[in-house]
Amino acid sequence: MSQADASAEPEAVAGNGLLHRRLFLTRGLTLAGAMGVAGHAHAQVAPPKHPEWMMRQGTGLSGYGQPSKFEDGVKRIMGQPNPLTPTLGSTRTPLEKLTGMITPNGLHFERHHSSVPDINPDAHSLLIHGLVRQPQKWDMSALMRYPMTSVIRFIECSGNSGAAKRAVPQTSVGQIHGLLSCSEWTGVKLSHLLDETGLADGASWIIAEGAEASSMVRSIPLKTALDDVIVALYQNGERIRPEQGYPMRLLVPGCEGSVNVKWVHRIKVVNGPGHSRDETGQYTDLLPDGRALQYTLILGPKSLIIHPSVGMKMSQPGFYEISGLAWSGHGAVRRVEVTADGGKSWADAELTEPVLSKCLTRFRMPWSWNGGPATLASRATDDRGNVQPTHAVAIANYGEVGAYHYNGIQPWAVAQTGEVANVRM
Amino acid sequence: MSQADASAEPEAVAGNGLLHRRLFLTRGLTLAGAMGVAGHAHAQVAPPKHPEWMMRQGTGLSGYGQPSKFEDGVKRIMGQPNPLTPTLGSTRTPLEKLTGMITPNGLHFERHHSSVPDINPDAHSLLIHGLVRQPQKWDMSALMRYPMTSVIRFIECSGNSGAAKRAVPQTSVGQIHGLLSCSEWTGVKLSHLLDETGLADGASWIIAEGAEASSMVRSIPLKTALDDVIVALYQNGERIRPEQGYPMRLLVPGCEGSVNVKWVHRIKVVNGPGHSRDETGQYTDLLPDGRALQYTLILGPKSLIIHPSVGMKMSQPGFYEISGLAWSGHGAVRRVEVTADGGKSWADAELTEPVLSKCLTRFRMPWSWNGGPATLASRATDDRGNVQPTHAVAIANYGEVGAYHYNGIQPWAVAQTGEVANVRM
């Protein structure tokens, strides 16, 4: 559809009403009628009367702002905690209430294996020892002197999306997929610190330990550690929040959440992975033959349609913008395809710039819903050519019983009532 | 300096210790000695003892996270309010305590001409009328149905940096330049809404009005309004904060803060600018001949060194990373040059990716401080070729008496004591 042709029918690009992704870049397009939101479109529209908040003074300046009271419902999604261990568990990012690619710090998902330690940064330090030429220890003021780097990267818990794997019928997209957030992280490249200690013969892995009561211990290949791992000190501009690892955490871009060790205080350079409790009792993938995959750290290509998604109700037939998120632990998202007919036909969605490596990418796609049943789904391809798998392939990759690494295509069924359900395609 | 040559002397690229910007990309570089932070570098470094926070349970999960209590000092910088009008004025982003390019929502600068209205979004709507074919009014639910776009863009008050213009001796970089913040904004392109109303003959400007008690009224050329202006609903993923215009504001990328009208509820399409109180009594540039420039909306190229900056004290001679922010209302930053000898020689700083249009860009530059006096400054060039002016040229552009649009080069003088002062170069 060209700019000069805005009054023509929008170009269908796949079955069941999917329209060309560039449609919304067209000038001269009128949407209100097609969306059923043109109720106010009459010449007698009057300038607004002065509402009450224009007739009185409001609130004043503040040192640290908070959301509007009308957004009180926008909170991290809490699970049902075990009453014997109320401080451990997880909260999820309410993806369905957010948009863009940045997650505000207050809504970044949490996953704690014991609780959030109340660390005094002046008493915290980072030690690197083991197979190094010279062990070294940095306190905050020493670390703050180093050159820093900033990157926008997602963090996803490898246990994310378990309810999608099991096609749990009624829930919300945040409840299913909200162990996923994205921030601008700033800190010191771990390679700078390993250059200070030097590496001894045989060094091939590192083991990172957190300073919380349960001490998360995870192993990372040295090659990864020397590549793009950061000792992160800042999140979206300000110091990292306590529940994200204050005063410092590892950022291991593209790798499962738990290796992004929070409250990190010790890194040991070793000659092989540590087989810690946190990577044997958890975070392994049990296969049908009884073997378990270990150290499957890199998160595969994945995407989600968020608008519309399970639990939402579409008010009436007409024009909609389908939008969602795509990401890959291997690199940048190259392509997101969308289907509205349960996978019979697919078309490319528009990717919102900037499209960054190991970062969430927002995709958008115009859709004309005819009011009939529709099955919507998205499929991500990354710049290494990895394609988000079907449910069957995802199960074959990581086993059926495990809770980790599920990245199968997520379909939503839209009923004639407009209700959206979580289904298997 | 090549990777194979990491042990050689770093390459000097300009006077008084500036080193090649790619130095920190070199592997095998050791910095601790050069930074005087190697006090812990001995073979007897022991694994950390268990600090108190590892010996007890910490805090639990939370619905909406907050910064650590150890960061209580990181707040917006308050001016001295007029006791008769305590709710109006401004707070500034504490730039010296932040890094990266994103400003966390709680620390985005504020500028209110009366106060923050407590708007119920269900009772708020946006009207577009005037020189249109069909006036239209959108409530929140109607607007939420439209296709959206997300962009990372700065907002800067045109009154920013007044203390730099006057070379106020003692203060902080946030105090001087902190009417500057950057967020990912998501909303509906204003062009979509103007397409709905259509435009009548003679339409050439719009006038936007805010729904606060003092009703900010600003004029914007129609050409700009149809280009990249957004009715912004989300900031860094979540709904816009009350002090940033909840439930909706204009985002006019690259243009002075006040035209990014907060709490916007009315847009009138007109045949010329409105000459409102807010653009005659304020936001004009008085020239020496008595004339005043009006509608100087686009903010020129600008940059700041933030580390180090006024009020900081450098502990000892050695290696430092100079870092700061650069931006331009005309487009993307193409280049930032840094001097350490008061402008006698300059060298290019490293720009942190992604470098986006009308967005803050973090720059970084290695520096070896010899302990002698130094005058540091940065100079931005944008992708249209606009160069940040000297103080003299900035004064010539916008006049000496006015408080707006100052984008002169900001020098900091480093004394032999390590103290950093605000000076004129």
Contacts of A125 in chain B (CB under 8 A): 40, 48
* DSSP string over B269-326: EESS----GGGTTSS-EE-TTS-EE----BPPPEEEEEES-TT-B--SSEEEEEEEEE
Beta-carbon contacts of B92 under 8 Å, excluding residues fewer than 6 positions away, are B76, B77, B79, B109, B174, B175, B178, B179
Which domain CATH number covers A129? Answer: 3.90.420.10
Tell me how close the Cα of A85 comes to any Cα of chain B, in angstroms.
9
Question: How far is the alpha carbon of A371 from chain B, nearest alpha carbon, in Å?
Answer: 16
Beta-carbon contacts below 8 Å between A and B:
407
CA-nearest of A296, A385, A376 to A333 is A385
Instruction: Write the CA distances from A389 to A292, A380, A405, integer angstroms.
Output: 20, 9, 12
Report CB contact under 8 Å: B364, A148. yes
For B329, residues 6+ apart whose C-beta sits below 8 A from its C-beta are B156, B253, B254, B255, B298, B299, B300, B358
State how far residue B242 is from chain A, nearest Cα, in angstroms.
Answer: 6
Cβ <8 Å between A150 and B362:
yes
CA distance readout (Å), A64 to B66, B93, B105, B110:
10, 10, 9, 11
Which range marks the domain in which residue B316 is found? 302-422
How many domains are contained in chain B?
2
- Chain A residues whose CB is inside 8 A of the B238 CB are 67, 71, 74, 97-98, 104, 106-107
Same domain, B282 and B350: no
Specify whether A164 is located in the same domain as A269: yes
A235 found inside a domain: yes
- Per the confidence metrics, is the pTM higher than 0.80? yes
Please list the pLDDT of chain A residue by residue as tens digits (425 residues): 333 344 457 889 999 999 998 887 777 778 888 887 654 544 456 666 788 999 998 999 999 999 999 999 999 999 887 888 889 999 999 999 999 999 999 999 999 999 999 999 999 999 999 999 999 999 999 999 999 999 999 999 999 998 888 888 778 999 999 999 999 999 999 999 999 999 999 999 999 999 999 999 999 999 999 999 999 999 999 999 999 999 999 999 999 999 999 999 999 999 999 999 999 989 999 998 999 999 999 999 999 999 999 999 999 999 999 999 999 999 999 999 999 999 999 999 999 999 999 999 999 999 999 999 999 999 999 999 999 999 999 999 999 888 899 999 999 999 999 999 999 98
Q: How far apart are CA B89 and CA A234, in angstroms?
A: 29
Q: Are residues A307 and A235 in the same domain?
A: no
Helix, strand or coil, per DSSP, at residue A34: helix
Q: Are residues B348 and B215 in the same domain?
A: no
Is B338 exposed, middle or buried (CB count within 10 Å of its CB: 0-12, 13-18, 19+)? Answer: buried
**Are residues A166 and A277 located together in one domain of the fold?**
yes
Answer yes or no: do B148 and B257 share one domain: yes
**β-strand pairing of A264-270 with A125-130:** parallel
Q: Mutation test of the interface with chain B: which of A145, A188, A214, A241, choosing the one with the most B Cβ atoms within 10 A?
A: A145
Domain holding A338: CATH number?
Answer: 2.60.40.650
User: How many angstroms separate the CA atoms of A132 and A295, rounded?
Assistant: 23
Return the closest-CA partner of residue B190 out of B136, B152, B246.
B136
Integer CA distances (angstroms), B11 to B224, B305, B317, B343, B370, in order: 45, 21, 18, 19, 15
Q: Is the separation of the CB atoms in A340 and A367 below 8 Å? A: yes
**Residue A312 and residue A288 in one domain:** no
The 10s digit of each residue's pLDDT in B207-244 is 999 999 999 999 999 999 999 999 999 999 999 999 99
Give the span between the Cα atoms of A320 and A318, in whole angstroms: 7
Cα(A416)–Cα(B75) distance, rounded to whole angstroms? Answer: 50
Question: Do residues B255 and B368 share a domain?
Answer: no
Q: Is the dihedral of CA A363, A150, B64, A175 positive or negative?
A: positive
Cα separation, B132 vs B290, whole angstroms: 37
Residue A168: CB atoms within 10 Å: 13
First to last CA, chain A: 31
Work out the number of other CB atoms within 10 angstroms of the CB of residue A413: 18
Whether residue B384 is found in the same domain as residue B354: yes
